[in-house]
Amino acid sequence: MTDDSPRLGFCCKFIPDEAPGTHPTLKAAKEAALAMNVTSVTIAHLRRLDPAGARDKLAAVVGHNLAALRRQIGWVAARPPLERLLRLASAILPGYTHPEVRDLYADPDFRRSIEAGLAGIGEAARAGGVRLSMHPGPFCILAARNPAALANGIAELDYHAEVMAMMGYGAGWHPHGAHVNIHVGAREPGLAGFRATLPRVSEAARHLVTVENDEDSFGLDDVLELGDLVPVVLDLHHHWIHSRGHYIAPDDPRIARIRESWRGVRPVSHVSVSREDLLVGHDPDALPDFAALLAAGLSGRALAAHSDLMWNRALNDVVALHLAWSDFEIEAKLKNLASTGLARQVGGPLALAAE
- As a whole number of angstroms, the distance between CA 269 and CA 217 comes to 19
Residue 338: predicted pLDDT: 98
- As a whole number of angstroms, the distance between CA 349 and CA 324 comes to 11
Task: Give the model's confidence band at 2: pLDDT under 50 very low, under 70 low, under 90 confident, else very high.
Answer: very low
Amino acid, res. 341: G
* Percent of the chain whose pLDDT exceeds 90: 91
Residue 22: predicted pLDDT: 54
- As a whole number of angstroms, the distance between CA 149 and CA 323 comes to 36
What is the pTM for the complete model shown?
0.94
Amino acid, res. 215: E
Calculate ∠ Cα 272-72-352, nearest 5°.
55
Per-residue pLDDT tens digits for 324-343: 999 999 999 999 999 999 99
Is residue 210's pLDDT more than 70?
yes
Residue 32: predicted pLDDT: 87
Mean pLDDT of 104-114: 95
From its phi and psi, is residue 207 left (phi > 0), alpha (psi between -120 and 50) or beta?
A: alpha
| Upper half-sphere CA count for residue 43 (Cβ side, 13 Å) | 8
Element (H, E) at 132: strand 131-134
User: CB 251: neighbour CB atoms within 10 A?
Assistant: 8
Mean pLDDT of the chain: 94
Q: Domains for the chain: give ranges and CATH numbers.
A: 213-347 (3.20.20.150)
